[in-house]
A and B are shown apart, each in its own frame.
Chain A
């Protein structure tokens, strides 16, 4: 389950519950559609995972796809990990080399 909100130059995708294969595909599709809208370029995309209970490998793949889509429109992407376990899974996949990770959505870095 997810929701996407805009606040100024910031687009936030708030993800809740289990990010499995089906949810991951829907999330990427919704984010890609919003990024195609006029005026999306140059904004910041924040993916808030602090309410995610389970991050599957499909979910990690979704982060990569969203990163690619955000880069296409010159957007910076930040992932708020919330739990240390979420951060560990992202780091295992080496995604920390690509995407800025922060602990909380209200972090100064995000």
Chain B
């Protein structure tokens, strides 16, 4: 089969912003591009680690709940230079963008969704974070936001119970500091993944049942699509295989950020797996009122 079945019929195709659509491709390595950057360092930076100067020494560690509970290891001065160059290319800039914040707040507000930040309502240094989320939100039909179980998006802060990168709970998507101060790619991936949980929460039981049945079939051959953000692609596949809710949320991310790549992936599967995937895909297609993604 070289094309989707008749019940997979898009009314039209939209496009996610470039930084988000790039999730379909392997995460390009900067090791070898940035002087002094090693694969180990790059992996840690991708996982939210920073390099700081403490007195005469340099330390690398993770920004977990403000950093006080992180593991810090001693590194050379060159690591700080490498980190600064890496963050220029991968992380949101720390500049202000009040217009992006206002536009995001207005766009979400029109769909009845509150935008909140912690600790302050508007955080000046989050300009590019607001811009990134705004661009993703603008690439999603407003009606879709009205139909999913989403009341509020919180940008910044940490969860009350445990260190998390992001979360969805009781109608709120939380984008914690780990994601805010990480790579743009990770921010985009986590945001759409959490929207996927809000989508899941809005589904009628018969639709959830279709997704569960599809998951069962797909699991038999581990025919999941994995993309790199936060951790490697293989880890994202394992999450999907063992937790159906993660499969539903991750498929939302794949549907929106990687539309054509997801369809190509589905078409490459054997008959039974392909059928299961298309049944799952059709649930998302309905949820987007026929809108698909390039």
- Chain A residues near B (Cβ < 8 Å): 18, 20-21, 53-58, 60-61, 64-65, 67-68, 71, 83-86, 88-89, 91-94, 96-98
Contact = CB atoms under 8 A, between A and B. Distances in A.
Given A57-B43, A57-B46, A67-B238, A88 B64 contact: yes
B62 interface: yes
A91 B69 contact: no
A18 B162 CA distance: 23
Classify the interface of chain A: helix, strand, loop or mixed. Answer: helix
Interface-centre pick from A56, A57, A89 (highest chain B CB count, 10 A): A57
A92 B243 contact: no
B62 A89 contact: yes
Contacts of A64: 231, 234-235, 238
B43 A92 contact: no
Contacts of B47: 56-57, 60, 92-93
Given A57-B47, A58-B40, A91 B164 contact: yes
B65 interface: yes
Contact of A88 (B43, B162, B232, B234): B162
For chain B, the bracket of interface size reads: 20 to 34
B230 A93 contact: yes
Contacts of B122: none
A55 B43 contact: no
Nearest to B159: A91
A98 B239 contact: yes
Given A20-B40, A56-B44, A68-B238, 16 more contacts: A21-B39, A53-B73, A57-B43, A57-B46, A64-B234, A64-B238, A65-B234, A84-B69, A88-B69, A88-B162, A89-B62, A89-B64, A92-B47, A92-B164, A93-B230, A94-B239
B43 A58 contact: yes
- Which 6 A-B pairs rank lowest in CB-CB distance, beginning with the nearest? A57-B47, A88-B163, A64-B235, A85-B71, A57-B43, A91-B162
A92 B238 contact: no
Contacts of B27: none
Contacts of A83: 71
A21 to B, nearest CB: 5
Interface string B219-238: 00000000000111011001
B238 A98 contact: yes
B196 interface: no
